[in-house]
């Protein structure tokens, strides 16, 4: 078995409850079950995510807001999946 991880492209739904259930989506990469990397405003974040189980929604996850995301890098340019 190879040590190279296969990343899966997903969509994360970010929900901000303090802003009257405002939300935003972003393209992300699932690096292992429950953890994904995404880029917002040039900064790479690692966050816990949970899959949305609904008919018709494939590869949609919601960010676990009870835990903090970790900023891994900033001012990122170039091919994002290759850098992740």
User: Given this model, what pLDDT does residue 4 score?
Assistant: 57
Between residues 32 and 35, which one has the greater pLDDT?
35
pTM, two decimal places: 0.71
The pairing of strands 70-73 and 43-51 is: antiparallel
Give percent above pLDDT 70 in the chain: 77
Q: Does residue 37 or residue 41 have the better pLDDT?
A: 37
Looking at residue 1, its pLDDT comes to 47
* Degrees to nearest 5, angle at CA 82 with 58 and 57: 5
Check pLDDT > 80 for residue 38: yes
Could you tell me the two tokens for 49?
């995510």
Mean pLDDT, residues 35-58 taken together: 84
């Amino acid at each position: 078995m190879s040590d190279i991880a296969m990343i899966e492209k997903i969509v994360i739904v970010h929900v901000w409850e303090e802003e009257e259930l405002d939300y935003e989506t972003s393209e992300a990469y699932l690096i292992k079950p429950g953890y994904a990397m995404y880029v917002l405003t040039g900064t790479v974040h690692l966050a816990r995510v949970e899959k949305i189980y609904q008919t018709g929604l494939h590869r949609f996850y919601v960010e676990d807001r009870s835990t903090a995301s970790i900023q891994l890098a900033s001012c990122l340019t170039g091919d994002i999946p290759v850098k992740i």
